[in-house]
Structure formats: C-alpha cells, structure tokens
Amino acid sequence: MNAPVENSLSEAGLSAAGAAGFLHRYEGLRARLPGIGLPWLAALRDRAAEAFRAQGFPTRRVEAWKYTDLAPLTQTGFGEPLTPVESALPLPRHAAPKRVVFVDGRFSAELSDADVPVRSLARHLPELEGRLGALARTDDLPLVALNTALFEDGALIELGPDEDGGVVELLSVTRADRPVTAHPRHLVRLAEGARLVLIERSWGHGESRYLHSPVFEVEVAAGAHITHARIQQEASAGLHLSTVFARVAEGGTYDSFLLHVGAKLSRSEAHVALVGPKAAAHLNGAQLLGDGQHGDCTTFLDHAAPDCPSRQTVKTVLAGRSRGVFQGKIHVHQVAQRTDGYQMNQALLLSDQAEIDSKPQLEIYADDVKCSHGATVGELDENQLFYLRARGIPAAVARSMLIEAFLQEAIEGVTEESARAALSEAVAGWWERNAA
C-alpha cells in the first residue's frame, strides 16, 4: 500500500535535508579526496555530486524503495572518520587463508595479510581511467552517486588470464564509537578463465549509528568464475546500504550469496548483466532479522544474451517486530532466447509482529524461455517442534535446529567449501542469541 501523500511529502523534505548535509560534506572534502589531481576523476566526482543533488535520497514514493524508509539516515548528523586507522581493534577471526582489511573505508596494510591479490584502490587511481565507474550508474541510483562522490579507498582486484586468486576475505570494519560514514569503492576484474573466491564481511564495532555504503564493480570475462559470499554483520545500530554491479561475459559465472545478520537497517542491491552466451548468475541469499531490524534484498538480473541460466533463492527468517523485503526482477531481452531463469523467495515468521514484503518480477521479451518465480510465507512446524522436544531437546535449541535446516538448502548451493563454512558459522546460534 502506498504511503499517504502527506507522509510522502514529509519524506521528500527529510530526503532533501539529508542530501544537503552530505553535499555540504562533499564541498568541504573535495580538495582532500584521493585523486583530486586527476581531471577525469574530479569530473566523475562532480557529475556524481550533481546527480545526487538532483535526486536526493530515495523515498517511498520511488517504486524500488516503496518498502524501505531511509528516514534514520536522513535524520542523523554524520561526520567523517578523521582518526587514523588503528591496529588495536577486536577483529573477528579469519574466515579464509588470506585477508585484507578496510577500516572506516580505508585500506589497512598493518591489519591485512601479505601476499594477497588485493591492492588499495586509492593508490592506483591514475591507472583506472575508463574503468572506474564503467559499470556503476549514478543518474538514477542516488546512493551510488553519493559513493562515487565521497569514496576514499577500496579494494582493487585484477586477475590475469587463467589466474587463480584462491580464497580471499575482504573485511570492512566500521568503528561505531561515533556517527560516521564509510563509502568504499571496490573494483574487481577477472580476465578470461580466471577464478576467485571472495568472502566479503561487513562488521561493525561500537554502539553508535553509522553508515557503511560500499559499491562493487565486478567484471567477469569469458570463462571466468567468481564466488562472492557477502556476510553483513554490522553493529546493532549500524546502517548498511550496498550496491553491486556485475557484468558477465560468455561462459563466465557470477556466483553470489548474501547473508544479512546485523545492522538496524540494511539494503543490499545487485545489478547483474549476462552479456555473453552461456553466462550464468546465482544470486542466492538469506536474511535473519531480529526485533527492530529491517532487511532489504533487491536484485535486478538482466539477460542480454542467449542460452544463459540464472538461479535465485532468498530465504528470510523474522523474529520480534522486524521487517524483511525481497524485490527481484528478471529482465529477458528479445535476443536472449533459451533463457533459463528461476527465482524463489521463502519467509519464515517467528512472530505475529513480523512482516515480509515480497515482490518477484519477470519481464520477458523473448519467445523461447523457461522462467519461473514464486514466494511462500510460513511458520515453524509445531509437529516438528514437538518431535524434537519429546526427545529432550530444549525449546530454544529445537527452534534453532529447524531454523538452520530451513536455511541449509540455500547455503548448500554454495559449492566452495570456505565460503559455505563462513556462511554456516554466521548463521549458527542466531536464534539462541535473539531469543535471550
């Protein structure tokens, strides 16, 4: 149901006020941002700032944001993370043999492992003209425009033909001891036949409200394969608004799994284009939302070439007064004959105060396709709970077992062992923590 006009107008006012604050910050920081001496980058930032000025923060009057309200963002006075990167941070343990760390959006060589195929984007900006920003849209995506204007650093991953980058964990830490923002920009380019397993973990430390708003640009060349496991474990008051752009060439694969566990408000948006024959995309995920949390998984899958398969299963578990959103759109161009697309959203409600908004969509212009979508909403099976309780299993443990079993189908679709283990670890014990 659309918001009343008067509420929409007040949202528009909040959006404009919040946007003005960020634009003021951009003007103040403009001369200090990395790459200011590069004319092409300065022009890119200025165009993005103007695009953000024209759009403001999206409100619920925008169809794609109908179910997610950014008022907590526009009502907070954010500052910039002025203090230097510190090594004395209680970082979570490694989820991969190699790890690279960003703190408040900036690369930390001291906290990162050596011999990792990841470089600091800020240190290599002169090499990136024509590549940085090639996939990311700013004219109709204001959060991407804001990131483009304000980013300070990010990960640069470039693999050569047939190169195997192994398993790499990209850990983004935001120190939530004050209201700050981090806008890292990550650029991943896989040449023909290259392979990479990227475990991206977003993690917050502290109690204050903060904003972590990363943007990824992922280029997958012919025959290349990337597994991108995304684990959002922000602090309880954090705001996480991320966007991924992926372009997949002939025979390439973008295999992604998104897990929302933390943050007060989170939205992960993915724009994936299959541009070569037999390119493939998997956009699976899960959201585990406790009392007071809002999680939004939004995807746009563009089939622009023939013989391309895509799979998407997103499962959402909601406890207390939480709200989950799933929006998934598959667009099949006329040239994309023999497309095979599947999309499913399943929700498990653990409370009568929880809410799920599900909006799967198909837009098909080709004749020879096999596409389907669906959504289901349910509760825990009382018979299964009784069966476990009758065998002496405590109620909280029994519920946790059933919740993890509900999620297991989606997680088992991650074929890379390290990524699957990291996801399973983040899910384990979630109900016991939220039932306390």
pLDDT tens, position by position, 29-43: 888 899 888 999 999
Mean pLDDT of 238-254: 97
pLDDT for residue 432 is more than 90:
no
CB 367 within 8 A of CB 336: no
Instruction: Tell me: pLDDT of 394 over 90.
Output: no
Give the mean pLDDT of the chain.
89
Q: What is the pTM of this model?
A: 0.91
- CA–CA separation, 123 and 104 (whole Å): 17
**Rounded CA separation 147/182 (Å):** 9
Least confident of 63-72, 193-202, 245-254, 392-401: 392-401
**CA nearest neighbour of 72 among 216, 241, 203:** 241
Q: pLDDT above 90 covers what percent of the chain?
A: 64
Confidence tier at 225 by pLDDT (50, 70, 90): very high
Exposure string for 112-130, b = 16+ CB within 10 A, e = fewer: beeebbbbbbbeebeebee
pLDDT category, 7, cuts 50, 70, 90? very low
Q: Is the pLDDT of residue 214 over 50?
A: yes
Q: Closest by alpha carbon to 94, among 240, 206, 218, 203?
A: 203
Give the pLDDT mean for 416-433: 82
The mean pLDDT value for 76-97 works out to: 64
Average pLDDT over every residue of 66-92: 72
Query: What pLDDT is stored for residue 85 in this prediction?
Result: 52
- Name the band, by pLDDT with cuts 50, 70 and 90, for residue 125: very high
Average pLDDT over residues 145-162: 96
**In whole angstroms, what is the distance from residue 94 CA to residue 161 CA?**
28
The whole-number average pLDDT for the span 120-126 is 95
Most confident of 165-169, 387-391, 400-404: 165-169
Q: Rounded to whole angstroms, what are the CA distances from 92 to 137, 325, 330?
A: 33, 28, 36
Residue 267 · residue 357 · CB < 8 Å: no
Domain residue extents for the chain: 381-436
Beta pairing class for 185-190 and 215-220: parallel
Q: Which range (1-10, 207-216, 218-227, 417-426) has the least confidence?
A: 1-10
Best-predicted range by mean pLDDT (83-97, 162-176, 277-291): 277-291
